[in-house]
Amino acid sequence: MEEKKRVGLTDLFLLVVSILYLVLMLTLFRACGAKEDGSFMTCHWAHQTLLVFAGLLIVLSLLHLILGDARRKQGISVAVIAVCFASILIPGHMISLCMMADMRCRKWMVPGNIMLSVVMIAAAALDLFVQMGRAKKMAPPRPPKKP
Amino acid sequence: MILRTENVTRQYFRQGKGTNVFTALQETSLTIPGGKLIEVMGRSGSGKSTLLNLCAGLLEPTAGKVFLDDTDLYALDDRERSKLRNESFGVIPQGQTGLRSLTVLENVLLPCEMYGISGQEEYALELLERVGIAELSNTYPSELSGGEMRRLSIARALIRKPGVLLADEPTGDLDDENTHIVLGMFRRFAEEGMAVLLVTHETEAAEYADEVYRMEKGVLTRQDAE
Amino acid sequence: MKFANNLAWKNMKRKPGRTIALILLAAFLAFSVFGGSLVVMSLQNGLTSYEARLGADIIVVPNQARSHGSIESILLQGIPGYFYMDDSVLEKARNTEGVEIATPQFYLASASSGCCSVSVQVIGFDPETDFTIKPWIQKNYSGTIGDGDLLVGSAIAVPSNRKLTFYNVECNVAGQLERTGTGLDNAVYANMNTIRQMMESSVLLGFDYFSDVSAEHAISSVMIKVMDGYDIDQVTGDLNIHLRRVEATQAKTMISDIASGLTSVSRVIGGLTVMIWILAIVILIVAFAMIVNERKKEFGVLRVAGASQKMLSRLLLAESGLISLIGALAGAGTAALVILPFLGMIRESLNLPMLLPSVPVILLLAVGAVVLTAFAGALTSAVSTRKITRADAGLILREDA
């Protein structure tokens, strides 16, 4: 069915945002590097975890793009939402950050992470609705459209 | 149902230079009884569309009255008149008249949807079958040809099972074959008991009509039907 | 109503490009109103809290601190700094007529501290006479501020064991202060004994901040409260006459710089918002006029099919209302996503104290912005709506498209 293969706006949006998430986390939103003595501050480990999450989100978005079935897409969107919530909880809550509010991790990494995660959550939630509509449409096959 | 106009006049006030009054329709009385197909012929600009719009409750006359049975159309307020039009009038306007955001089927169901009447899908499909475009029910108007669009208009005009059918140049952009198909339909509707008013500038229609009138410069005159 | 909403929705879906463009416009409206008011309110809150938190009527600092603006950068931006004078100033200040309380403060910039490679401003104060810091203790861990105890600003993350080390002096976090939206949030506070211990330790570690004053008699500033009935101007003047190589400044003067900064930022934000609104409203009015014009024929068809004039206006209202509501939600959401997390950065770039309003106030602002935008958006279609519903349907249909 042609309906099945359709790549929706939300598919592309999720993929673009998840790639953007990884890129920004590696650049603008990164935490501090190693200290002069070569040791790391705690924010480094929070950052590493977020990078893993970013990779995970890209894999999920790709799966979302590739899989045609509306119900499977919905499942992946739920997973995306869960991962994003987890990513909001990591820095500062699960893994502690640096002491001062004006340090990189708290000035850039945390706000950036919250912003991108919320955007991803919103996109995935929107996708749940979109896929709900598609699932309904696909259930009783309609007569094919005349070109 | 009987649709009757009583000395209706319509004047247009042109903006600009002083009192420039243009009389599109002069004191016209016309009766369209149920079961009859009345044709009004005339060149474009002769006032025939004005007459049709007056009949449909879409254009307030400058003087005179329009009755549907005993109801004076223009004594009603806009809401009541609109509801009456929805229930009792099937109007086929000039030109391309599909809502482009709706499919053919949704376009036909429009008069029902508007007043929250549901469960008419089967009847709509039946009408589309009758006008011969059932297979196009899920396409959008932008994909239809002129003839198909015309049939869509006809199906939409019939969905509320109206007592009066008013058609403005319904065969204007159709080829010969389609013209006769459409006119044949109107003939059948009249025979089924509808009061049908057909406004056209083409002569082919005369052979389908019970009465033929000619409109010239806002003046309506009876012609003998052949 | 359901019919109008359905048809409006279908119309929007049929022209996704235009719908998205209009939604974006409405989003700009909501973004500017919500974002602008949030920033301006935060600035006002910041100013109020900064004023309250300074607490003193007069601040006495060494001449060079005042001329280089170091005191402002410590208090406002939290850039660690230090400057010292002899503590004889304190006694002289206390003996000046009209001075009710004078309390010393001591500024020390830490070298890298604990986990992190950034210096922290350590402020020493005298718990006996202090009237500017203790009133702001929000979380109290131990009750007293003894030797080796610290109070920390609200922006300092307290380690789970509540231990922080500066210059090899391990301290206990005894409490945390309320948020001010200023540099004071990034500072830690200790009593004089503790800070002298740090100083000594710093000298041992090879730091030399106290070139011309002896470590035991060094203080950085004196915070002064003026007795009731005395003119602050007068007392400030007296202090400046009697004290040498230091400068007494009224807190009011320090605030007024910030207040004028706030005014100019508020003006810029206000001006931009007004411009965005005028532009967007004009575009929306034109866009809806175009939509109506383009669909004139459709309105004719709707009339023919039995729609009353009221139904037509409801339909147009539904379409413009839906578009502007979606845009308003998106715009307010984006503003929240940009401003709330990044407030620290905005504060730093504006160089003004900023303190977010309370959550209910923020929610109220957001709801207000959304309602205002949706209303304005719906209203922009009203002009065209009047035109189309007033016209005779017969006339609309006669104009061949």
Q: Cα–Cα distance between C62 and C72 in angstroms, integer?
A: 13
> Does C139 have pLDDT greater than 80?
no
> Does A141 have pLDDT greater than 60?
no
C255 and chain B: CB distance < 8 Å anywhere?
no
pTM over 0.90: no
> Does A16 have pLDDT greater than 90?
yes
Q: Widest CA span of chain C, in angstroms?
A: 98
**What angle (nearest 5°) sits at the alpha carbon of residue B49, between those of residues B189 and C312?**
90
| Interface residue of C304, C312, C398 to substitute, partner B, most B CBs within 10 Å | C304
Is there a single domain that holds both residue C297 and residue C322? yes
Asked whether the beta carbons of B82 and C311 are under 8 A apart, the reply is yes
- The tens digit of pLDDT for each residue in C245-293 reads 888 988 888 888 788 888 888 999 999 999 988 998 898 888 888 888 8
pLDDT at residue C399 in the model:
46
Q: Which whole number is the average pLDDT over C222-238?
A: 91
Q: How far is CA B84 from each of CA A28, B88, C379, rounded to the nearest angstrom?
A: 66, 6, 30
Is there a single domain that holds both residue C213 and residue C66? yes
pLDDT at residue C144 in the model:
74
pLDDT at residue A15 in the model:
93
Q: Cα–Cα distance between B137 and C169 in angstroms, integer?
A: 83
B60 and chain C: CB distance < 8 Å anywhere?
yes
Which is more confident, C117 or A34? A34
pLDDT at residue A23 in the model:
94
Q: Which residues of A touch C337 (CB under 8 A)?
A: 114-115, 118-119
How many B/C residue pairs have CB atoms within 8 Å? Answer: 99
Counting runs of H as helices and runs of E as strands, what totals does chain B give?
6, 10
Distance from CA of C401 to the nearest CA of B (A): 8
Q: Three-class SS string for C245-282? A: CEEEEEHHHHHHHHHHHHHHHHHHHHHHHHHHHHHHHH
Residue B169 gets the label, from left (phi > 0), alpha (psi -120 to 50) or beta, of left
pLDDT at residue B225 in the model:
47
The residue with tokens 């207040």 is: C259
Instruction: Return all residues near B132 (Cβ < 8 A) that are at least 6 apart.
Output: B151, B181
Q: Cα–Cα distance between B91 and B166 in angstroms, integer?
A: 5
- The tens digit of pLDDT for each residue in B159-193 reads 998 999 999 888 877 788 878 888 888 899 899 99
Q: Which residues of C touch A100 (CB under 8 A)?
A: 116, 118, 120, 155-157, 186
Q: Which residues of C touch B105 (CB under 8 A)?
A: none
pLDDT at residue A22 in the model:
94
- Which stretch of B60-64, C10-14, C201-205 has the lowest confidence by average pLDDT? C201-205
Report the 10 Å Cβ neighbour count for C242.
15
Q: Cα–Cα distance between C303 and A4 in angstroms, integer?
A: 39
Is there a single domain that holds both residue C273 and residue C242? no
**What angle (nearest 5°) sits at the alpha carbon of residue C30, between those of residues C29 and C36?**
95
Pick C120's closest partner by Cβ from A41, A100, A107.
A100
> Does A140 have pLDDT greater than 60?
no
Q: Which whole number is the average pLDDT over C348-373?
A: 90
Counting runs of H as helices and runs of E as strands, what totals does chain C give?
14, 12
The overall average pLDDT reported for chain A is 83
Is there a single domain that holds both residue C308 and residue C201? no
Pick A99's closest partner by Cβ from C78, C120, C337.
C120
pLDDT at residue A115 in the model:
92
Distance from CA of C396 to the nearest CA of A (A): 32
Number of domains into which chain C is organized: 2
Is there a single domain that holds both residue C243 and residue C391? no
Which residue among C249, C280, C296 closes a domain?
Answer: C249
Q: Cα–Cα distance between A53 and A65 in angstroms, integer?
A: 18
Asked whether the beta carbons of B94 and B168 are under 8 A apart, the reply is yes
| Interface residue of B53, B74, B112 to substitute, partner C, most C CBs within 10 Å | B53
Q: Which whole number is the average pLDDT over A67-79?
A: 89
- The answer to whether the CB atoms of A101 and C344 lie below 8 A apart is yes
Domain B2-222: CATH superfamily, name plus number: P-loop containing nucleotide triphosphate hydrolases (3.40.50.300)
pLDDT at residue A2 in the model:
42
CA C366 to chain centre: 16
The residue with tokens 């509801």 is: B83
Burial of C348 from C-beta contacts in 10 A (0-12 / 13-18 / 19+): middle
Given pLDDT bands bounded at 50, 70 and 90, which one contains residue C400? Answer: very low
Asked whether the beta carbons of A87 and A21 are under 8 A apart, the reply is no
Pick A99's closest partner by Cβ from C114, C333, C348.
C114
Length of chain B: 226
Q: Dihedral of the CA atoms B42, B45, B51, B56 (nearest 10)?
A: 110
DSSP state for residue C116 in the 8-state scheme: B
Is there a single domain that holds both residue C270 and residue C204? no
Given pLDDT bands bounded at 50, 70 and 90, which one contains residue C398? Answer: low
- The answer to whether the CB atoms of B143 and A146 lie below 8 A apart is yes
Phi, psi of C283 (to 5 degrees): -60, -40
The overall average pLDDT reported for chain C is 84
Domain that holds residue C123: 56-249
Q: Cα–Cα distance between C333 and A115 in angstroms, integer?
A: 10
Token pair belonging to A117: 């995660």
- The answer to whether the CB atoms of A143 and B136 lie below 8 A apart is no
Extract the residue ranges of chain B whose pLDDT is less than 70.
15-19, 224-226
- The answer to whether the CB atoms of C3 and B114 lie below 8 A apart is yes
Please tell me the number of Cα atoms within 13 Å of C243 on its side-chain side.
Answer: 30
Q: Which residues of C touch A96 (CB under 8 A)?
A: 157, 159-160
In this prediction the ipTM stands at 0.89
Is there a single domain that holds both residue C84 and residue C192? yes
- Which stretch of C8-17, C89-98, C388-397 has the lowest confidence by average pLDDT? C388-397
Q: Which stretch of DSSP H or E encloses residue C137?
A: strand C137-140
B103 and chain A: CB distance < 8 Å anywhere?
no
Is there a single domain that holds both residue C199 and residue C312? no
Q: Cα–Cα distance between C377 and C380 in angstroms, integer?
A: 5
Is there a single domain that holds both residue C64 and residue C184? yes
- The answer to whether the CB atoms of A107 and C116 lie below 8 A apart is no
pLDDT at residue C336 in the model:
93
B100 and chain C: CB distance < 8 Å anywhere?
yes
> Does C52 have pLDDT greater than 60?
yes
C342 and chain A: CB distance < 8 Å anywhere?
yes
Is there a single domain that holds both residue C293 and residue C269? yes
Q: What does the DSSP assignment read for B49-67?
A: HHHHHHHTTSS--SEEEEE
Report the 10 Å Cβ neighbour count for A82.
13
B150 and chain C: CB distance < 8 Å anywhere?
no
**What angle (nearest 5°) sits at the alpha carbon of residue C329, between those of residues C326 and C332?**
145
Phi, psi of A44 (to 5 degrees): -55, -45
Asked whether the beta carbons of C287 and B74 are under 8 A apart, the reply is no
Is there a single domain that holds both residue C395 and residue C301? yes
Which is more confident, C98 or A1? C98
Asked whether the beta carbons of A119 and A87 are under 8 A apart, the reply is no
- The tens digit of pLDDT for each residue in C288-307 reads 888 888 888 888 888 888 88
Q: Cα–Cα distance between B187 and B185 in angstroms, integer?
A: 5
Is there a single domain that holds both residue C219 and residue C153? yes
- The answer to whether the CB atoms of C157 and A97 lie below 8 A apart is yes
Token pair belonging to C298: 């459709």
- The answer to whether the CB atoms of C3 and B113 lie below 8 A apart is yes
- The tens digit of pLDDT for each residue in C151-175 reads 888 888 887 788 888 888 888 888 8
List, in sequence order, every beta strand (DSSP E) within chain B: 3-14, 20-32, 37-41, 63-68, 71-72, 89-92, 164-168, 195-200, 211-216, 219-223
Q: Cα–Cα distance between C315 and B141 in angstroms, integer?
A: 20
- The tens digit of pLDDT for each residue in C101-134 reads 999 998 887 765 555 556 788 888 888 888 888 8
Q: How far is CA C177 from each of CA A19, C80, C100, rounded to the nearest angstrom?
A: 40, 18, 25
Q: What does the DSSP assignment read for B93-151?
A: -SS----TTS-HHHHHHHHHHHTT----HHHHHHHHHHHT-GGGTTS-GGG--HHHHHH
- The tens digit of pLDDT for each residue in C26-42 reads 999 999 999 999 999 99
